[in-house]
């Protein structure tokens, strides 16, 4: 296996920076306490038992920033010490699955309200499975849309210029009339077995250049469904990140996705480190193969009255009730959905939201 010393060092620095930024001197002390746990990488990396996997991030309780530890075993003395001494929050560790469709879930229906080419619509690579159109963006002198890299990049198999469809197959036919544009770029997802040093993922984003002649009317701004009424469009005001997102911890957020339409959840974690996410590494006609990826510095939304996202919702834009975009859905469980931060995603693509 490759030498991942540089990645381990990066994670230690990142943990220290995130915790100290939000919790001051206490954050430094907690980061020091986590040194031993930080050396125990997830089982997929170090061959350790699953119950030794640990992730952490920042949450807010009673108006104060707290460290949240996700693990299978709360009897570890380090975890107990952090929870007891610093008011840390313990949650059972969650292994998430990406929320694009795969061969085993092709019967997942599309939301009947998402038949138009708008934020939340079905989108897919011509040779892949569908996810969700996130938002409209501008890059240089052209207009595009974004979705998740694992949807349109097909686990690093896709190439620039590949045809992108909306609705994606099998939601719609593989015809020229379904083509909305071509793949311009996507963030490469590093798997720990293939990466020479850095196997961490954060910006899970793909950028599509719209074919205006085939797309139809391109909106001047990204509009999403109003939290009060799905039939009422609401413009996205701006993208927020960093401290601005952390200050929204505990607030209700929304998303519009290809499968579940408009759903609500509670923004519960920012700066989440070392989250394990399973991606089905397959193309149509192949036997699905699941592989583990490690995401860091992502967000987590706690489900509110049912799952926040399901298979097919990957790429969906996550936004606050007052219209600020914060990220795009990448994966989830019954309890949490995991979100790639939009500010970092757009910066990586050198694009701005419409």
27 and 14 within one domain: yes
- Domain range enclosing 217: 97-353
Share of the chain above pLDDT 70, in %: 84
Q: Please tell me whether residues 338 and 201 are part of one structural domain.
A: yes
**Same structural domain, 110 and 233:** yes
Number of domains in the chain: 2
Q: Are residues 16 and 106 in the same domain?
A: no
Distances in whole angstroms, Cα of residue 241 to Cα of each of 17, 247, 337: 16, 10, 18
The pLDDT tens digits for 104-161 are 565 666 666 555 778 999 999 998 888 999 999 999 889 999 999 999 998 788 999 9
Question: Would the pLDDT of 46 be above 60?
Answer: no
Alpha-carbon distances, residue 218 vs 120, 126, 221, 232, 350 (angstroms): 15, 21, 9, 18, 20
Mean pLDDT of 31-53: 61
For residue 43, the model assigns a pLDDT of: 46
Beta strands across the sheet bearing 131-132: 131-132, 122-125, 163-165, 179-186, 206-210, 142-147, 135-139, 352-353
Q: Does one domain contain both 137 and 25?
A: no
Residue 140 CB partners (closer than 8 Å, separation 6+): none
The torsion region of residue 51 among left (phi > 0), alpha (psi -120 to 50) and beta comes to alpha
Tell me: pLDDT of 66 over 60.
yes
CB of 152 closer than 8 Å to CB of 124: yes
**Ranked by mean pLDDT, which of 27-31, 123-127, 321-325 comes out on top?**
321-325
pLDDT at 88: 86
pLDDT of residue 39: 60
Whether 202 and 303 share a structural domain: yes
* Whether residue 270 sits in one domain with residue 125: yes
- List pLDDT tens digits, range 18-27: 888 888 898 8
Give the mean model confidence (pLDDT) for residues 61-86.
84
Q: How far apart are CA 85 and CA 3, in angstroms?
A: 35
Min mean pLDDT across 45-54, 216-225, 251-260 is at 45-54
Q: How far is the first Cα of the chain from the last one, in angstroms, to the nearest whole number?
A: 43
Q: Which of the residue ranges 69-73, 287-291, 327-331 would you say has the lowest mean pLDDT?
A: 287-291
Per-residue model confidence as pLDDT tens digits over 155-187: 788 999 999 998 888 878 887 778 999 999 998
Q: Identify whether residues 260 and 128 lie together within a single domain.
A: yes
Is 228 buried (19+), middle (13-18) or exposed (0-12) by CB count in 10 A? exposed
Q: Are residues 83 and 153 both part of a single domain?
A: no
Cβ atoms 119, 136 nearer than 8 A: yes
pLDDT of residue 239: 96
Same domain, 164 and 279: yes
pLDDT band of 195, cuts 50, 70, 90: low
| 206 within 8 A of 146, measured Cβ to Cβ | yes
Could you tell me the maximum CA-CA distance found in the chain, to the nearest angstrom? 62
What is d(CA 137, CA 246) in angstroms, rounded to the nearest whole number?
24
Considering the domain architecture, whether residues 228 and 349 belong to the same structural domain is answered as yes
Considering the domain architecture, whether residues 174 and 224 belong to the same structural domain is answered as yes
| 3-class DSSP state of 10 | helix
Query: What average pLDDT does the segment 43-71 reach?
Result: 75
Q: 111: buried, middle or exposed (CB in 10 Å: 19+, 13-18, 0-12)?
A: buried
Tell me how crowded residue 79 is: count the other CB atoms within 10 A of its CB: 20
The answer to whether the beta carbons of residues 207 and 185 sit under 8 Å apart is: yes
Among the candidates 93, 119, 146, a domain finishes at: 93
Last residue of a domain, one of 93, 128, 153: 93
Average pLDDT score over the chain: 84
In the block, tokens 């690093």 appear at 156
Instruction: Tell me the average pLDDT across 199-217.
Output: 86
Last residue of some domain: 69, 93, 117? 93
Query: Pairing relation of β-strands 275-280 and 96-98?
Result: parallel
* CATH code, domain with 165: 2.40.10.120
Q: What local confidence, expressed as pLDDT, does residue 350 receive?
A: 94
| Beta carbons of 12 and 28 less than 8 angstroms apart | no
Is residue 208 within 8 Å of residue 179, measured between CB atoms? no
């Amino acid at each position: 296996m490759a030498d991942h010393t540089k990645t381990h060092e990066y994670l230690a620095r990142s943990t220290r920076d995130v915790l100290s930024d939000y919790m001051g001197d206490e954050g430094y002390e907690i980061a020091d306490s986590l040194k031993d746990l930080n050396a125990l990488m997830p089982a997929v990396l170090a061959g350790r038992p699953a119950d030794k996997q640990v992730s952490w991030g920042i949450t807010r309780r009673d108006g104060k920033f707290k460290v949240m530890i996700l693990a299978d075993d709360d009897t570890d003395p380090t975890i107990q010490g952090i929870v007891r001494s610093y008011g840390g929050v313990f949650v059972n560790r969650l292994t998430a699955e990406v929320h694009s469709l795969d061969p085993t879930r092709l019967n997942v229906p599309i939301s009947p309200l998402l038949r138009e080419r708008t934020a939340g619509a079905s989108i897919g690579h011509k040779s892949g499975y569908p996810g969700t159109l996130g938002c409209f963006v501008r890059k240089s002198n052209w207009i595009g849309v974004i979705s998740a890299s694992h949807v349109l990049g097909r686990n690093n198999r896709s190439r620039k210029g590949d045809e992108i469809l909306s609705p994606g197959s099998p939601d719609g036919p593989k015809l020229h009339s379904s083509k909305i544009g071509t793949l311009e770029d996507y963030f490469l997802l590093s798997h720990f077995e293939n990466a020479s040093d850095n196997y961490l993922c954060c910006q899970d984003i793909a950028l599509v250049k719209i074919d205006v002649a085939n797309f139809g009317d391109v909106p001047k701004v990204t509009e999403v469904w109003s939290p009060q009424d799905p039939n009422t469009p609401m413009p996205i005001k701006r993208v927020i990140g960093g401290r601005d997102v952390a200050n929204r911890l505990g607030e209700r957020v929304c998303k519009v996705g290809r499968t579940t339409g408009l759903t609500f959840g509670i923004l519960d974690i920012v700066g989440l480190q070392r989250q394990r996410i399973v991606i089905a590494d397959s193309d149509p006609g192949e036997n699905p193969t699941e592989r583990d990826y490690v995401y860091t510095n992502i967000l987590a939304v706690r489900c509110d009255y049912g799952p926040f996202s399901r298979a097919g919702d990957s790429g969906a834009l996550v936004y606050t009730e007052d219209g600020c975009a914060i990220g795009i859905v990448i994966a989830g469980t019954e309890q949490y959905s995991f979100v790639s931060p939009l500010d970092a995603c757009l910066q990586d693509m050198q694009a701005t939201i419409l």
